[in-house]
Amino acid sequence: MVYHAIQQVDANDTTGTKGRDPNQPTKDFEEKISVLKIREKDLREKLATINAVIPIPILKDQIANLEEKKALLSSQVSTLSAEMQKSSDCVCKEDFDRIDLEWRKWHSQVTSRKRIFLEFWVRCTEVLPQDMTPADLKETLGIEGIF
């Protein structure tokens, strides 16, 4: 059996609850949403800081790899330096003086040849025809580089 009771409803109360704001549930949900958004922001910041820190095992692996590379490179350097010591004999004073003398001789020849070339080039470019530029003459003669 079902019993029904008649309730008196206030004419101004459309929801059937007295003294409550009809927008109250919406306001409650908005407050909860704002609280949840703040919490979400905090959690995202924490996640970003956690992701910024590299875990210790990964760091240890990277350090071990770097130490292996360092050992390999230092062994290569020591092998090369040992080979250099075996292959390079000390240059005696006479050989050094002879090489220095030859270098000075060739250096003076290069300097004088460069000076002669530049003087000759100036004379050649002075008498160029109207339709030819120094760059064209340089290309025609097959001269490369800057002088």
Going from the first residue of the chain to its last (147 residues), give the mean pLDDT of each consecutive group of 10, the final group possibly shorter: 64 56 84 95 91 85 96 94 75 89 97 95 92 91 85
pLDDT of residue 89: 66
Residue 2 counted as domain residue = no
| 65 falls within a domain | no
Inter-helix orientation angle 93-126/134-141, to 10°? 130
Among positive and negative, which fits the CA dihedral 96, 102, 104, 106? negative
Position 61 scores a pLDDT of 95
Question: What domain range includes position 113?
Answer: 89-147
Total domain count, the chain:
1
Q: Is the pTM of this model over 0.85?
A: no
- pLDDT value at residue 11: 56
Interior angle at CA 124, CA 120 and CA 127, nearest 5:
145
Q: Which two tokens mark 2? A: 């079902």
In a domain, 143, yes or no: yes
